[in-house]
Structure 1
């Protein structure tokens, strides 16, 4: 039995991982699982630790066992990359991808590393080998959206819905597409999915509150967006560095939309997450503007 299928015994921790309930994944009792599923559950726990910014702890745990299986080697590659050992991580996955490219864990985790490194074509090539993996579908959709290929993202989701209509991962992919496309999909799909996750005690997390806040921001429901974003930033065991930085970025946008300037969120984002895509993008545009302005000043002075 596929441990990640809707009939598998790992449904709860796997679902919790994608709901952003990382503490629930770490607390999951694996004693009653079969040896195969116990290993799969441990990989989920490693992934939860990585999401929580505990990559160094994962690397320490894997130091002796990472070479024993392609699954654990791919976990190590992700942990290396997220602990800022990017060159080592990419080097570690090269031979792994070549030899074990049919392995589902390798596809998703090494595909994640390649996507983080913006090697999108390599990531898509690896993910295309999947055999019915919804995680691969989700990551593929994310890459298409990151590269502004909304048409391909929509196609990926439409195809997945034919064989996994009500699965959480398909719903999340559909919500992402709705956010990008806007219009009726934004309110009928994205908002519905995220509000359900955020309002249900068993699935609510900093991640689902952030998603709900961003959706409300798109819908120009600024008071509701402010409340959701504030909740997502409240101290909790599931507030990861990534979620925090994205919540701060959304708060900056919210402040600008409501005429309050960038607010304190911008300074905090610059200080704590200097590599965040918003910070890098604004810095790059600022430099480009200064260069262009400098050329005009030179011409005016010469005249």
Structure 2
């Protein structure tokens, strides 16, 4: 990519964001950016703030803004803040009026997917024209739908025109974790490189590395990576939830980790899913009674 192009100016900022280095994205010096890139840079900074749990601050920041990119940020912040109905209403309006906008595609698509409206999200995202974030989100949705075949096709198509893009490499690694076999090792190499390089190391990279380690049967290494991630951010919900899963695999107690997750994100999907399955188990158990021999 030409470093003097509009996209090139934002390359480092994009990389910070997509590698999970959210504070670095927020602190990025935008003084040298061209006028046309000031808004995209602001959007990325606001998204990083949302990722760090500052949704309410972002809502206040974009209050009254009419630019569609900032309205899309408002939808994402409302969703992250637990105001799903308001977020979906904004996202659906944006999707009907500004579906050709890259930021709308990504942020409204994210909101719709989070609300369980996968087909609406895919319909919006499929309108992209060379938007790698849209590709990555489409891949994630297909994987959540257990349509690994479609995720593979999406990555293969993007690889033909995006070459060695970070997002394509990450998307291919996500698919690799689902495909398994030798793909586990290939995915591990990508995540390990990001986690170990000083310029790209992030909590998300460490978590992804740990997930790959688990699939490869290297539980001690996975535990070390997750402990490093939690040391960086003791309230990181994804690091904690993955640690819970690892402890279950290792036969270790999970009570403290569950308590930590409850404190960090009370409505985290891992906890709600666990509660739902526990209720289903209890309901099923009532159909059976122990039989004691006389």
Q: TM-score, normalised by structure 1?
A: 0.91
- RMSD of aligned alpha carbons: 2.2
Give the structure 2 partner of residue 38 of structure 1: 38
* Residue of 182, 185, 197 corresponding to 2:183: 185
Q: CA deviation at 1:71?
A: 0.8
Give the structure 1 partner of residue 222 of structure 2: 225
* Residue of 185, 204, 207 corresponding to 2:204: 207
Give the structure 2 partner of residue 63 of structure 1: 63
Write the distance in 1 (CA, Å) between the matches of 2:26 and 2:255: 35
* Residue of 247, 270, 273 corresponding to 1:255: 247
Write the distance in 2 (CA, Å) between the matches of 1:280 and 1:136: 28
Write the distance in 2 (CA, Å) between the matches of 1:4 and 1:16: 18
**For each residue in 1:254-282, what CA deviation from the matched residue of structure 2 results, as whole angstroms up to 9, or x when unmatched?**
11222223352123224433432322222
Write the distance in 1 (CA, Å) between the matches of 2:260 and 2:11: 37
Q: CA deviation at 1:150?
A: 0.7
> How many residues end up aligned between the 2 structures?
292
Give the structure 2 partner of residue 288 of structure 1: 280
Alignment map for 1:107-256 (pairs within 5 Å): 107-187=105-185, 189-236=186-233, 244-256=236-248
Relative contact order higher in (CA < 8 Å, ≥ 6 apart): 1
For the Cα contact (< 8 Å) 1:255–1:263, is it kept in 2?
A: no
Q: CA deviation at 1:4?
A: 12
**For each residue in 1:229-271, what CA deviation from the matched residue of structure 2 results, as whole angstroms up to 9, or x when unmatched?**
00111145xx7x6xx2221121112112222233521232244
* Residue of 64, 70, 73 corresponding to 2:71: 73
For the Cα contact (< 8 Å) 1:248–1:269, is it kept in 2?
A: yes
For the Cα contact (< 8 Å) 1:190–1:215, is it kept in 2?
A: yes
Write the distance in 2 (CA, Å) between the matches of 1:175 and 1:157: 10
